[in-house]
Structure 1
Amino acid sequence: MPQKRQYPGTRKPKISVVVPCYNEVDVVRHTHARLTGTLRRLSGFEYEQVYVDDGSADGTWEAIESLSRRDPSVRAVRFSRNFGHQAACMAGLREAAGDAVVVIDADLQDPPELIPEMVRLWLEGWSVVSARRRSRDGETLFKKASAFAFYRLLNAVSDHSLALDTGDFRLLDRELVAHLNGTSDKNLFLRGAISWFGFPETSVEYDRDPRLAGESKYTLRKMLALSRRGLLAGSITPLRLSTCVGAAALMGGLGAAALRRDPKLLLRPGAFGAQTLAIGVVGEYLHAVLRQVQGQPDYVVKEQLGTPFRPLVEKERIAS
């Protein structure tokens, strides 16, 4: 059983909430209002809100600037362009200075009102508190089915167990955040990386609400890209699968050719298909290796707002 956390004397634990945003001008003010109302009910805690603008093309950054002028707890990071949701989450984790860090999307499908329960479980000693979805209102049948299948496929082939039916809405302890910030992975799949470190993890269940406004930013292309990243980052099974499929196709082609006595018809197409599949899978892994060795940053910060809890030097030391 995890050991309870205690903060004696006048030391107040600090909670950071990271909010990735991409074209969320219609909802970001509502998000701030609900977050602020929830965080104010956490007596005995200090808090900050870290908004990460992932290259929005609407008025999201201007709305965040307005919030920061009225609320000193608001900090913000603005990317030079759209680098993706995972990069925005990592930027927020690197900026956050709390003893515990909550990551939540700006679209209000994940209720901020769960945060006090997550904080309670964190104080009981859990390093990761994931929000597990019981239902997903307002989403298409295709998205629900594909998400259900993806998590189970990823868990089946992964080298370590993953929390099912969870997204990036989680609370993470500072120690785990420091480990995540110290990783050199340029193609990090955050959900898999959190489980890989093996810290004590529990979950709270909730019913996911429809978006308050706007449309989902996770297009089919982005969903497929995230799925590919998760599969390549979490398991060597696809690479081994290509070897098995290639061997099976070759043996099947040889057997069929022997029975039908027509090697040109069956042997060559079978061998070609197996080789093509194997080369494609190996190419995916080589692309991931290329991303690692290129040395390019995960994202580029164009602008920042607000003052962190503690000096930047200390925050960088923790993340190193």
Structure 2
Amino acid sequence: MKTVSILIPAYNEKDVLNLLYERLKTIMDSLGYYHFEILFVNDGSSDETLDIIKAFRNLDNRISYLNLSRNFGKETAMIAGLDYAKGDAVIILDADLQDPPELIPEMLRYWEEGYDDIFAKRRSRAGETWFKKWTSSTFYKVLKKISNIPIQEDTGDFRLLDRRCVNALKNMRESQRYTKGMYSWIGYKKKEILFDRDPRAAGETKWNYLNLLNLAIEGITSFTIAPLRLSAVFGSVISIFAFLYMIWIIGKTLLFGNSVTGYPSLMTVILFLGGIQLLSIGIIGEYLGRVFNETKNRPLYYIDEYNDERNNNEKENDSTLVVSNYVSK
């Protein structure tokens, strides 16, 4: 009997957990030829999320949980869950029920046919503003054009990953993570499933536009150096035009004796060039900051509790141990 882990990152999701569990329980009971594990990752919730998960575990031995020592963010919560998931396949599912768990049987069917990464692509997105939809679509189009890997457009984290995909992701230990790009980067045999995304079943979204902007910057800086090249090209073009303009000014003065005037235009050029320089420095700073964070080599996360036991964090303190553990398996 194959084991399937359902990985659910959760941050302040008390309002939706009961409905989520009921829908998952119905699906798991109908698929008796698999052994299921539901692995909740409590990402430092400040409400009763952890207490509800513990209550589920007392009722159902298929429930496991990780309680992170603080809020590390969804990207880190997912890699923590992948480190601890026991399944031959792992299904990543958000707790808010915008992604319907009823797609799980179809994912498992394609997995049995030999696909390694079965991902759900949104055909429509209910409960979201037109501005959010437009910015998301624009971002993915831009990222696809400037990246050297095929980025999956209009997809999230809702997918089934075979164990070898999970092992590949576990080997990528960078601290600033853009997992949606990593799914494409590792490759393997992929299958798309279309679905209509529902609004949140309960509670409020934890994502605001600032968080989405930070995620977009992570995506761009993680998978392309195009902004660096663009700033270099832009600087070169401006330098060429500035050199030609300088020759024209000098020639005009020597040939016709015209006095050099134009204080407003001079200030405009200076401010424009200053803005370009600051923008280029900012782009370089983004990449340099990533290098700085990676060189510190801090653990990605710390676990406060795993299945009713306080954790000593040996697994998180030594990333080499994590890699060697799953390679040996």
TM-score, length basis structure 1: 0.89
* Partner of residue 150, structure 1: 139
Cα deviation code 1:74-105 (max 9, x no counterpart): 00011121111101111111111111100010
- The farther-off stretch of 24-33 and 266-275 is 266-275
CA contact (8 A) 2:152 2:184 kept: yes
* Partner of residue 162, structure 1: 151
Q: Does 1:318 align with 2:320?
A: no
* Partner of residue 19, structure 1: 8
- The farther-off stretch of 270-279 and 172-181 is 270-279
* Partner of residue 61, structure 2: 72
Q: CA deviation at 1:211?
A: 0.4
Mapped to 2, the partners of 1:224 and 1:257 lie a distance apart of 40
Q: Do the aligned partners of residues 259 and 216 (structure 1) sit closer, same or farther apart at CA in structure 2, a change above 3 Å counting?
A: farther
Cα deviation code 1:21-53 (max 9, x no counterpart): 010000012111111211222231111000001
Q: Do the aligned partners of residues 34 and 85 (structure 1) sit closer, same or farther apart at CA in structure 2, a change above 3 Å counting?
A: same
Q: Which runs of 5+ in 1 are unaligned?
A: 1-11
Letter in 2 for 1:282: I
Q: Do the aligned partners of residues 250 and 124 (structure 1) sit closer, same or farther apart at CA in structure 2, a change above 3 Å counting?
A: same
* Partner of residue 70, structure 2: 81
* Partner of residue 255, structure 2: none
Q: CA deviation at 1:253?
A: 4.1
Q: Do the aligned partners of residues 317 and 36 (structure 1) sit closer, same or farther apart at CA in structure 2, a change above 3 Å counting?
A: same
Cα deviation code 1:229-260 (max 9, x no counterpart): 11111111111111112223333444556667
CA contact (8 A) 1:101 1:172 kept: yes
3-state DSSP of counterpart to 2:52:
helix
Q: CA deviation at 1:147?
A: 1.1
Percent identical among aligned pairs is 38
Mark the structure with the bigger radius of gyration: 2
After TM superposition, list the pairs within 5 Å mapping 1:92-241 onto structure 2: 92-241=81-230
Q: Do the aligned partners of residues 276 and 315 (structure 1) sit closer, same or farther apart at CA in structure 2, a change above 3 Å counting?
A: closer
Q: Does 1:47 align with 2:39?
A: no
Cα deviation code 1:176-222 (max 9, x no counterpart): 10111122211121111111111111110000001011111111121
CA contact (8 A) 2:66 2:305 kept: yes
3-state DSSP of counterpart to 1:82:
coil
- The farther-off stretch of 45-54 and 255-264 is 255-264
* Partner of residue 6, structure 1: none
CA contact (8 A) 2:173 2:300 kept: no
Letter in 2 for 1:317: N
* Partner of residue 273, structure 2: 271
CA contact (8 A) 1:68 1:306 kept: no
CA contact (8 A) 2:44 2:71 kept: yes
Q: Does 1:294 align with 2:302?
A: no
Q: Kindly tell me the number of residue pairs found equivalent between the two proteins.
A: 305
- The farther-off stretch of 150-159 and 257-266 is 257-266
Letter in 2 for 1:130: F
CA contact (8 A) 1:257 1:266 kept: no
Letter in 2 for 1:318: Y
Mapped to 1, the partners of 2:45 and 2:120 lie a distance apart of 26
3-state DSSP of counterpart to 1:277:
helix
Q: CA deviation at 1:316?
A: 6.2
Q: Do the aligned partners of residues 272 and 40 (structure 1) sit closer, same or farther apart at CA in structure 2, a change above 3 Å counting?
A: same
3-state DSSP of counterpart to 1:213:
coil
- The farther-off stretch of 38-47 and 22-31 is 38-47
Mapped to 2, the partners of 1:255 and 1:21 lie a distance apart of 59
- The farther-off stretch of 177-186 and 45-54 is 177-186
CA contact (8 A) 2:83 2:322 kept: no
Q: Please provide the CA RMSD for this pair.
A: 2.2
Mapped to 1, the partners of 2:129 and 2:247 lie a distance apart of 49
Letter in 1 for 2:64: R
CA contact (8 A) 2:171 2:323 kept: no
Q: Which runs of 5+ in 2 are unaligned?
A: 250-259, 310-314, 316-320
Cα deviation code 1:299-320 (max 9, x no counterpart): 221111179xxxx999962257
3-state DSSP of counterpart to 2:237:
helix
CA contact (8 A) 1:246 1:271 kept: no
Mapped to 1, the partners of 2:186 and 2:295 lie a distance apart of 23
Mapped to 2, the partners of 1:230 and 1:117 lie a distance apart of 29
3-state DSSP of counterpart to 1:163:
coil
TM-score, length basis structure 2: 0.87
Letter in 2 for 1:290: F
Letter in 2 for 1:55: G
Mapped to 1, the partners of 2:85 and 2:31 lie a distance apart of 18
Mapped to 2, the partners of 1:135 and 1:319 lie a distance apart of 39
3-state DSSP of counterpart to 1:153:
helix
CA contact (8 A) 1:25 1:63 kept: yes
